[in-house]
Amino acid sequence: MSSGLPGELAANAWDGERVARGILDAQRARAFALGPSPVGRLMKPSPANERNWSDKRVGWGIVLFDDPDVPVAERARADDAPEPIRRLVASRKHARVLRWRPQLGPMVLADYASGKETPVPIGGAPAGAAGLPRYLLLYGGPDVLPWSLQYLLNAGNYVGRLDLDGDGLQNYVSALLSGWPDSDARYDRPVVWATDFGGDDMTTIMREKIADPLVAALRDDGDMADLRVLKQEAATAGALAESLAAATPALVVTTSHGQTGPPSDPNAMRANLGALVDQHHALVNPGDLLDAWQPDGAIWYAHACCSAGADAPSAFAELFETGSGLRAVLDGVAAIGPSVAPLPRALLGAKRPLRAFIGHVEPTFEWTIRFPYSGQALTASIVTALYDGLCDGEAAGYATRRIWSPMGQLGAAMEQARQLVAGRRHQREAALKSLLYLQVVWRDRGSTVVLGDPTAALPLPD
């Protein structure tokens, strides 16, 4: 046999007495090697690239409220939606128009493309044209399409929400369809703004476990040569406005408290819901930011209570005693009803709008950032969503899957803890503490949402 070929091959076949071996015939081995490959006729079609929302095997769709007073044919075409939404649907190949109403139940959307109501299950259905599109845009506020629907869809899809109308909606859809032409947003100039009140305040933990690791990753990246970091005493509302105007960043990341008061004044609560609180307790005002800066295709992540909006009731209200400080705040926020916060609404509806805003509907607790038993940070998925995801050109909805992905494991762990709580007496106390911890983390992660179209992605540098 020619050099380089084995003299014989052994197979994992047993002939009853010995391992089957075969001596290679050099001529036949050469012909066999050069013969036609069976791969072309045996290989299954390559799996869809989940980053490619335009592939019909992945798919994009819009979720609208299912109004029974609208004729079925119009519901199938989104005829009852505002003109910019109709234009967006018409522009996207293979777009699906889906509907939701409370009567459908928690796990079903409706599709009217066939001329009649066809239930589409949430979870377990195939992706793309055959089932539920991976990328879904909810159009409407949480008073119409509840936050709970978005949380549920987040578990298996890449979801965003638009709660805009009038000029704001027109601005956003026009920018989305045109791809933010002539955008001044600079990939190499991200802005990270992190307050720190010191001691055991949550702002210190957020800075140490979210902002600082992200800054370290950005500083190691040669494409981020002009990173702007404003933290501790430098994290003022005025400095943030000045840095945004000077840097025109493509990525903005902020960690701070979010305004949720005063509980006794619903009008003030509504006007300042989730506003970022700076190092000196002043509020970051959207109008002040937009006086000197246009978001122009940036993506903003805000780790602050109610930075994305509020729900009623709060998922955490029953956890605290009536009359306690946090319970009063949560009840006060709930009193204004389910809503999207003013900051993302203003930025997404600006003349040159934001691409996407990623924020929270509920408060974050120390437990959900730092593991109570060891002090280990639990925020790696947030940092990787922002750096490995957004900064690698992943769409906002796809990148943030990293934040939601641990929820399945948390759910399985909760079931195990429930069984221990119902089991032997000596296990119950520790199991109950673990179950409480898992519930808080699960609800916190679940209340992270994307506002804006989930397909919005940062353009990468050449």
Q: In 10 A of CB 156, how many CB atoms? A: 17
The residue ranges of every structural domain in the chain are 60-163, 191-405, 407-446
- Location of structure tokens 């390559």: 46
Rg of the chain (C-alpha set): 26
What pairs with residue 231 in β-bridges?
Answer: 194
Contacts for 294 with CB less than 8 Å, ≥ 6 apart: 184, 350, 351, 352
Tokens for 151, please give them.
């949380």
Q: What is the third-level CATH fold of 191-405?
A: Rossmann fold (3.40.50)
The strand ranges marked E within 26-89 are 60-65
- Residuewise pLDDT in 10s, the chain (462 residues): 344 556 665 455 444 444 445 666 666 555 555 444 333 333 445 578 999 999 999 999 999 999 999 999 999 999 999 999 999 999 998 899 999 999 998 889 999 999 999 999 997 666 666 689 999 999 999 999 999 999 999 988 999 999 999 999 999 999 999 999 999 999 999 999 999 999 888 999 999 999 999 999 999 998 998 999 999 999 999 999 999 999 999 999 999 999 998 888 889 999 999 999 999 999 999 999 999 999 999 999 999 999 999 999 988 888 888 877 888 888 889 999 999 999 999 999 999 999 999 999 998 888 888 887 777 888 999 999 999 999 999 999 999 999 987 766 777 777 777 777 777 666 777 778 788 888 888 888 889 999 999 999 998 987
pTM over 0.85: yes
| CA angle (102, 100, 310) in 5-degree steps | 75
The strand ranges marked E within 242-323 are 251-255, 257-258, 276-277, 299-303, 309-310
